[in-house]
Structure 1
Amino acid sequence: MRIGIDFDNTIANYDGVFYAAALELGLIPADLGRDKNSVRDLLNGSGRKDEFTKLQGYIYGARMDLVSPYPGVAAFVRDAVAAGHELFVVSHKTRTPMMGPPYDMHAAARGFLEAQGFFSPGMLSPENAFFELTKEEKVARAATLEVEAFIDDLPEILRMSGFPSTVRRILFDPYDALAVKTDDLERCTDWETIYGTLLGGPMNAVFLPRSQSQDNTDLLAEASRLCVKAGRGEPHGLKQLSGGKNNRVFRLDTDKGPLVLKSYFRHADDPRDRLGAEWNFLTYAWGRGVRCVPEPLACDRHAQLGLYDFVEGEKLSANGITEQHIEAAADFISTVNQRPYGPQSLNSGSEACFSVADHLDRVDQRVARLTTLDPEAPHVGAARTLVTERLEPQWLRVKASILESCTAVGVDPTARLPEADIIVSPSDFGFHNALWQDARGLTFLDFEYAGWDDPAKLAGDFFACPEIPTPPEHFTLFVETLCHRLNLGEVAQARMVMLRDAYYIKWACIVLNDFLSHHDARRRFANQGDRAARCAAQLDKADALIAKTVSDTPGG
């Protein structure tokens, strides 16, 4: 197959780049939103439209070093070429900027492809990269090359009459913002989906952004580039922090103070975009004035690295959680969800639920996964016994009780929630992901599963997570406060109560994930220590969670 690929916003990802370049040139304040539109609107709205035009030329001509490829595009190119497909980059832009210094933007784009390894052996041929001056010339080039599929982020390009009718038109929509009126195009929100669409099967790659043998010197080099992007000084020290279960988290010391560098885990069996979810949520929250979360500074989606403000503080103990902390948690959720919702696109949260049936299905899936325990896992016999004799029977009882409750309150378990009941959720929400500081109060952390979701899932996770369990006596206070501040009705509140036990079962399944092979790979990536000790501890936690479905009363 002959496949054409656009360059800007299809291969090259400009997230945060306009902010970094504008800040570097002194055009914007540091507290401005980090998206391109915020920079453009500020400059255009303050009578500096020409400055934004010059900024575009500066980025496309002189600062392509700030730009990263989208995750998965390099793997797609590599495997497509290996499979015998012929690939072409076909893009359009003027050769020099409309205003400002006469940078050669075509040469800069080629330089980016070379620097990022796209012209390496087994990848693209440099002769197959074409940068045309107009969109008409771009489409004509694609037709001349006789491409059989074309990937672009602009629907209007894919619909131009110059494309032969037989070309497969793949719309790359990384922010999931173009679903309306694009039924005539094959819309994909990430390169993993494009891979499956054009090459078939899952992407032939394990997404470990840094190998475990990678030393801190190499990470410092990556961190230095991100610090430049964020305007945050030069890093000189790196120390891994404890606590990260899925990712590696480092304290990064710089000449302007400490920051946090996060290296995100990805695996062929679990390709969730943890960096994308966390970055999008934090950008959204900061754009709405929320300051009880770390500030997002810069990211590299290809390397799966994120740079954030460093937050001092201490973890609360379960015994130290008071009504003040419960109300602070509810304040955070209600502030993020102040209406009207902002224009930035957020995806659904990980394992999002939009009906009662969704909640039950998610737990069903987790229980079913535990039928395939790793036979090499320590204590696997005890885990099998716990699953078959305790967890599975209790889940059947809990599920039956939930369905009875639905009937009692007149809720159709298969019906989609009203839109007013769906919120922006941090997911995996609880005091295990929070730090307390006397002067600042609570700061909430870790949003790698965040997105649109049912608040009943948030409440379930908040009280069921075993690491720093929220005391059950605060359940009613949290639910009533949250429902009041989010203007949720009686049905939403009843849903939170009826689903509570489902989340104890869900978390029992989660803590038993250490007995699954690819979850063990994630723990090893995060340097979580001896597996035998982990597995033994998780058995005790799972047993305690199952017991809570009997001992905790629904009202708190």
Structure 2
Amino acid sequence: MIIGIDLDNTIIRYDKVFKDVAFKLKLIPKNYSTEKKKIKELILLKNNGIKSWKKIQGLVYGKYINKAEIMPSVYNFIKLCRKKNYKLYIISHKTKYGHFDSEKILLRNEAIKWLKKREFFDKNKLAFKKEDIFFANTRKQKIKLISKLKCDWFIDDLPEIFKDRTFPKETKKILFMKENKEKNLNKINLLDWTSISNKILGPLKPKDILYLNNFNEIKYTKKIIKVKGHGNSQLYKISTNDKKDFAVKYYPDLLLDSRPRLKKEYETLKFLAAKKNFNVPKPINKNYKTNIGLYEWIEGKPIKKPTNKDINEVIKFVKKLKKISISKKSNKFNMASEACLSAKELIKQIHDRFKKLNNFKINNIKLKNFLDNRFSHTLDKAQDICFVKWPSSSQNRFLQKKLRVLSPSDFGFHNVLKNKKKMTFIDFEYFGWDDPVKLTADFLWHPSMNLSNLQSKKWQDSMLKIFKNDKHFKDRLKASIPLYGLRWVMIILNEFTPGIINKRQNALRNNFMKKKVILDKQMIKANKYLNKVEYLLNSFDHKYNNEITYSK
């Protein structure tokens, strides 16, 4: 098979460079979007906008190309193509000099330097030869090269290439871009390189994981199996001939989710494992190019029905988190994923999710009725009541740093493995600073938690004790519980968004459930949660005003 690939904005990612150069030329504000399309749209509205945009392009593709990144997951795609002995060409429409470039920097030379620096010409890595790289002066010349090289597939971010009538009919087209309203191009539109890889090469096989990563710690592999049921990251168990087991985690494509999950989890586990009193998997190695981490394998099962002893263990874990939160070394961590440090931020997150789901209600009458007739009314009521009840110090302003805690952000028994010896806490992809109230409330609301009323009360009482120095903790928790319930209603209904339901079905492929069955189950669960929120809101002026009485 012969595959041709465009270079700029297909292999090379320039988003941050466009932003930096445009800001340097005082054409955009400092905090403007990093998305190239939005930057271009803003600049074209200005006087001499076309000239300014061409000047930026010349600088980005020439003088500042060294600051550009490799597109997420393209490294893996190329490596897997090499495994199959497919022929790869890079075919780029690139002029000799950039527009309005007084320095006359040779764009093609700079592109070759960029490729060399990123191991494209390393025979043990991406294994390109200089003869595999083609530069065309015009779009027509580029299309002639695609035809001459007899490409079976061509991947490009510009629809104009595929619009051209001279484009070879026998070459399959993949348009690599976020949004596309172009029709009649006879092409496949894919948003990320993982999807492109799946389309051309097929789904990733367990042995491909070994090929992508030559971890020194893994020698003489005996067996590698994919662990089922992990909806976000892909998890594999590797067993070696010397009776060692490892966990290999392949994180989601960074084009689909820009959060650096690998870096966050690896650095967190490295930090916690060094403390010795934290039961977490030991991080062993990582590869940021392939977005894959290697960890100690933990034998055990998630806790579906916790005992009182299990509750005590998670409470101890929170105490340890509280203790290390005052350490100077903990300052290196950023905010937890979707941290909520004020009432305003929590309400905004609910509205953002609500707005997103509203885009898809036209496709499902049950979702439409639920959002229009029930949820919107309860949300209005909740934000009016809860905002007033929320302590004024963090209604609009962020919670003081001294009151925040390091949090896994996705904390509960669903992320615990238990065996006869101990409980081990796993999954720290979202770790960082947050309001301990969010940790407390999410533990109670998470659908995977199966707590008795007594266990819920024990958890709440323990959190009140651990964070007793925060004089507004109890009032903040009381005010936030209904809002976090609404936030979880939105998370439960995520299944109605395109892509999520397919991921869920893939995760359950050995216990395949029809789409309608999955969505109906989620709707029943969402109604149950909303009933609980409405009960809590109605109880605010009665016993709920004097004590926290949450239980699912």
Tell me whether the two structures share a fold, i.e. TM-score over 0.5.
Answer: yes
Give the match for residue 396 of structure 2.
414
Give the match for residue 116 of structure 1.
126
User: Equivalent residue of 1:411, what SS?
Assistant: helix
Equivalents in 2 of 1:486, 1:427: separation in Å? Answer: 17
Using a 3 Å threshold, how does the CA distance of structure 1 residues 114 and 307 change in structure 2: closer, same or farther?
closer
Alignment pair present for 1:537 and 2:521: yes
**Alignment check: 8 A CA contact 2:91 2:134 kept:** no
Amino acid at match of 2:489: A
Shift of 1:493: 3.2
Equivalents in 1 of 2:428, 2:64: separation in Å? Answer: 32
Matches within 5 A, 1:65-144: 71=72, 86=107, 88=110, 112=122, 115-116=125-126
Equivalents in 2 of 1:114, 1:217: separation in Å? Answer: 21
Say which of 275, 278, 281 aligns to 2:262: 275
- Structure 2: unaligned runs, 5 residues or longer: 1-57, 79-88, 99-106, 136-176, 179-189, 537-543
Using a 3 Å threshold, how does the CA distance of structure 1 residues 435 and 374 change in structure 2: closer, same or farther?
same
Say which of 305, 316, 323 aligns to 1:331: 316
Give the match for residue 236 of structure 1.
222
**Alignment check: 8 A CA contact 1:497 1:555 kept:** no
Shift of 1:303: 2.3
Using a 3 Å threshold, how does the CA distance of structure 1 residues 344 and 214 change in structure 2: closer, same or farther?
farther
Equivalents in 1 of 2:74, 2:200: separation in Å? Answer: 24
Shift of 1:395: 1.8
Shift of 1:312: 1.6
Shift of 1:474: 3.4
- Structure 1: unaligned runs, 5 residues or longer: 12-68, 92-105, 126-194, 197-203
Amino acid at match of 2:313: A
Equivalents in 2 of 1:258, 1:430: separation in Å? Answer: 25
Equivalents in 2 of 1:456, 1:368: separation in Å? Answer: 25
Alignment pair present for 1:249 and 2:235: yes
Using a 3 Å threshold, how does the CA distance of structure 1 residues 358 and 427 change in structure 2: closer, same or farther?
same
Give the match for residue 136 of structure 1.
none
Give the match for residue 388 of structure 1.
372
Equivalents in 1 of 2:393, 2:198: separation in Å? Answer: 49
Alignment pair present for 1:263 and 2:263: no
Using a 3 Å threshold, how does the CA distance of structure 1 residues 241 and 467 change in structure 2: closer, same or farther?
same
Equivalents in 1 of 2:505, 2:362: separation in Å? Answer: 18
Give the match for residue 462 of structure 2.
481
Using a 3 Å threshold, how does the CA distance of structure 1 residues 274 and 532 change in structure 2: closer, same or farther?
farther
Give the match for residue 19 of structure 1.
none
Using a 3 Å threshold, how does the CA distance of structure 1 residues 551 and 221 change in structure 2: closer, same or farther?
same
Using a 3 Å threshold, how does the CA distance of structure 1 residues 534 and 498 change in structure 2: closer, same or farther?
same
Equivalents in 1 of 2:226, 2:220: separation in Å? Answer: 18
Shift of 1:513: 0.8
Q: Which has the larger radius of gyration?
A: 2
Alignment pair present for 1:423 and 2:405: yes
Q: Deviations over 1:190-228 (max 9, x none)?
A: xxxxx99xxxxxxx95153863896798542433664x5
Shift of 1:283: 2.1
Say which of 404, 413, 434 aligns to 2:416: 434
Shift of 1:6: 9.1
Shift of 1:234: 3.0
Give the match for residue 511 of structure 1.
492
User: How many residues get paired?
Assistant: 400
Q: Which has the higher contact order (CA 8 A, sep 6+)?
A: 1
User: Equivalent residue of 1:211, what SS?
Assistant: helix
Equivalents in 2 of 1:83, 1:347: separation in Å? Answer: 39
Amino acid at match of 2:437: A
Alignment pair present for 1:454 and 2:435: yes
Say which of 424, 430, 434 aligns to 1:443: 424
Structure 2 length normalisation: TM-score?
0.62
Say which of 349, 372, 384 aligns to 1:400: 384
**Alignment check: 8 A CA contact 2:237 2:248 kept:** yes
Structure 1 length normalisation: TM-score?
0.62
Say which of 248, 260, 284 aligns to 2:271: 284
Using a 3 Å threshold, how does the CA distance of structure 1 residues 90 and 481 change in structure 2: closer, same or farther?
farther
Q: Deviations over 1:4-57 (max 9, x none)?
A: 5798x997xxxxxxxxxxxxxxxxxxxxxxxxxxxxxxxxxxxxxxxxxxxxxx
**Alignment check: 8 A CA contact 1:206 1:266 kept:** yes
Matches within 5 A, 1:339-354: 339-342=326-329, 345-354=332-341
Matches within 5 A, 1:197-208: 205-208=191-194
**Alignment check: 8 A CA contact 1:456 1:492 kept:** yes
RMSD value over aligned CA atoms? 4.0
Shift of 1:481: 2.7
**Alignment check: 8 A CA contact 2:444 2:456 kept:** yes
Equivalents in 2 of 1:352, 1:3: separation in Å? Answer: 39
Say which of 426, 430, 447 aligns to 1:466: 447
Shift of 1:289: 2.7
User: Equivalent residue of 2:406, what SS?
Assistant: strand
User: Equivalent residue of 1:517, what SS?
Assistant: coil
**Alignment check: 8 A CA contact 1:278 1:450 kept:** yes
**Alignment check: 8 A CA contact 2:90 2:134 kept:** no
Using a 3 Å threshold, how does the CA distance of structure 1 residues 79 and 206 change in structure 2: closer, same or farther?
farther
Using a 3 Å threshold, how does the CA distance of structure 1 residues 109 and 263 change in structure 2: closer, same or farther?
closer
Give the match for residue 532 of structure 2.
548
Alignment pair present for 1:312 and 2:299: yes
Give the match for residue 180 of structure 1.
none
Using a 3 Å threshold, how does the CA distance of structure 1 residues 510 and 254 change in structure 2: closer, same or farther?
same
User: Equivalent residue of 2:222, what SS?
Assistant: strand
Amino acid at match of 1:240: K
Using a 3 Å threshold, how does the CA distance of structure 1 residues 509 and 213 change in structure 2: closer, same or farther?
farther
